[in-house]
Amino acid sequence: MTRREEEILKLLREDPLISQKALAEKLGVERASVASYISQLMKKGFIKGKGYILNSPKYCLIIGNSYVNIVARPKDNLRLYEENIGFVEIELGGTGRNTAVYANELGEEVRLLSAFAGDVNGKKMKKDLKERGIDFALSYEDGNVGSCMKLSVVDENGHMEIQVSQMDLINGITEGYIRKNKGAIINANKLVLDARLNFDTVECICNIKSKKTPILFNMSIAEKSVQFRPLIKKFDTIVLRKVEAEVLLGIKIKNYQDLRNGINKMLKDGVRRVVMPLNEDGIIYATNTSIYKGKSLNSIPVTSKAKEKILAALLVLDKYELKIERQVAGLCKIMEMRETELKDFDKLINGLEFEKMFEIKEI
C-alpha cells in the first residue's frame, strides 16, 4: 500500500461517508487522483463496493503509549548511591507498542493507536512498526514536541528498581481525537487500553465502543490507578501488579487474605477477570467463580514486560475454550518467553498435558 493510499484509508476510517471532493481538499490533490486511488484500494480489497465500506478483518485495537526506553543494568548486585559497572541499552517500549508487537508475533490481527513525535525517535518507532507490518495509521502525531521517553534502572535479574519518565505526548490522544476515530473503535472486536491515557479519554472510549466489545485494561502506572476506580465496572479484564491494586483500592496487601479481599472487591464492582503477575512467584488469575495461583516448575527466569505479554496472550487464550488451569499455565509460560519465541506459543498451549509443567492451585 502506498503512503497516499494509507492517508485515504485513515480519512475513510474517520468518516466513511466523506466525499471524493472533500478527500481531495484534505489531501491537496485533484479529485481525479482521489478516484484513481480509491479504485486501486478497491482492487486490492481494502474497500468493498460503494459507500467506502472498509473490508477489514476482525481486529484488536490497542490504544496506548509508545516510547524510547533507556535501560541501565548492573553486572553484579545493584548498589545504591555509587557507580555500578554494567550495561546501558536503548530499546523501544510502551504498553501500546509492546502489546501490539507481542500480539502481532502471536498471530493476532492488531491495530495500534499511539502517539508519535516528528523527531528521530518518533521516526525510529514508526519505522520499526512498519517493518513488523503493524497498522499504526490511526496514531496521533505532533511534530512540535519530543518523543515519550523513559529511564529505567533494573537489577541484575532485569527487574525494575526505579523509573523516570517523560510522557506528555500521549496527552494528545484526547477525547476529541478519539471521537474523530470512533469508527475504528466501534468496529474493533477487542480493545486494549493503557492507564497512561487520560481519564476523559478512557471514559470516552468506554462510551463509544460496542457493548459487546471487551476492554482489557493495563493498570500500567500506580499513581494513576485510583483515577480509574469509577470506570473499572466497564472493564472486562484488568491486568495489574500488587502495588497498583493497593493504590486503586486504597488498601495494603500483606497476605493472601488481603489479596483475595482486594480481588473480590474489583470483581464485585463489575470486572469479569483480574490478572496479577507476581514475577518469579507466578501469577494470580481470578474470575467471579474462582481465584487461581500459577507458578512454573522450571527455573526459567521471568522476562521483562510481563504485563504486555500477558495482555497479548489473553487475546489468544480467549479464542479457545480452555479449562482455567490451562489458561493460567499459558500466562505463566508467556512470562518466561522471549520475543523471538512467541511464535511457538499457540503450539505450546495446545500441547498434551501442557499445564503439568506448572504448579496451579485454587486459593
Considering the domain architecture, whether residues 227 and 348 belong to the same structural domain is answered as: yes
CA distance linking residue 337 with residue 344, whole number of Å:
10
Helices (H), 194-241: 199-208
d(CA 177, CA 165): 23
**Cα–Cα distance measured from residue 91 to residue 71, given in angstroms and rounded to the nearest whole number:** 7
Task: Kindly state whether residue 187 falls inside one of the protein's structural domains.
Answer: no
Give the residue numbers spanning the domain of 335.
214-363
Sheet holding 67-74, edge to edge: 86-93, 67-74, 149-154, 160-166
DSSP 135: B
Are 108 and 175 contained in the same domain? yes
The dihedrals phi and psi of 186, each to the nearest 5 degrees, come to -65, -35
Q: Is 239 helix (H, G, I), strand (E, B) or coil?
A: strand
- CB of 33 closer than 8 Å to CB of 114: no
Nearest-5° angle of CA 206, CA 208, CA 211?
70
User: Integer distance in angstroms from the first to the last C-alpha of the chain?
Assistant: 51
Q: Is residue 186 part of a domain?
A: no
- On whether both 159 and 228 belong to a single domain, the answer is no
Is 198 domain-assigned?
A: no
Are residue 144 and residue 218 in the same domain, yes or no? Answer: no
Q: Are residues 340 and 281 in the same domain?
A: yes
Cell 510502551 found at: 94
194: in domain: no
Same domain, 10 and 44: yes
CA-to-CA distance for 358 and 294, rounded, in angstroms? 7
pLDDT at 331: 94
Domain edge (last residue) among 180, 203, 231: 180
Q: Provide the number of structural domains found in the chain.
A: 3
Residues 159 and 230 in one domain: no
From 162, 180, 198, the end of a domain falls on: 180
Q: Cell digits for 92? A: 523501544
The answer on 77 and 46 residing in a single domain is: no
| pLDDT computed for residue 229 by the predictor | 94
300-319 tens-digit pLDDT: 666 668 999 999 999 999 98
Task: Please state the pTM of the whole predicted model.
Answer: 0.82
Task: Calculate ∠ Cα 281-284-289, nearest 5°.
Answer: 150
C-alpha pair distances (Å), 126 with each of 13, 14, 118, 140: 20, 21, 10, 12
d(CA 347, CA 338): 15
Q: Identify the H or E element spanning 32.
A: helix 31-43
**In a shared domain, residues 125 and 32:** no
Pair 232, 310 in one domain: yes
Domain annotation covers residue 166: yes
Q: Using alpha carbons, list the distances in angstroms from residue 308 to 3, 45, 47, 104, 219.
A: 29, 32, 32, 12, 11
Does the residue 193 lie in any domain? no
Q: Is residue 219 situated within a structural domain? A: yes
Residue 122 inside a domain? The answer is yes
Q: Which residue stretches of the chain have pLDDT < 50?
A: none
pLDDT value of residue 56: 56
Same domain as 264, residue 155: no
Q: What angle do CA 340, 342, 345 make, to 5 degrees?
A: 150
Please tell me whether residues 25 and 151 are part of one structural domain. Answer: no
> Counting beta carbons within 10 angstroms of the beta carbon of residue 67, is it exposed (0 to 12), middle (13 to 18) or buried (19 or more)?
buried
Cell reading at 357? 509443567
Give the pLDDT score at 321: 79
Residue 59 to residues 55, 192, 256, 272: CA-CA distances in angstroms? 12, 11, 37, 21
Per-residue pLDDT at 48: 64
Any idea what the CATH number is for the domain that residue 339 is in? Answer: 3.40.1190.20
Q: Return the CATH number at 45.
A: 1.10.10
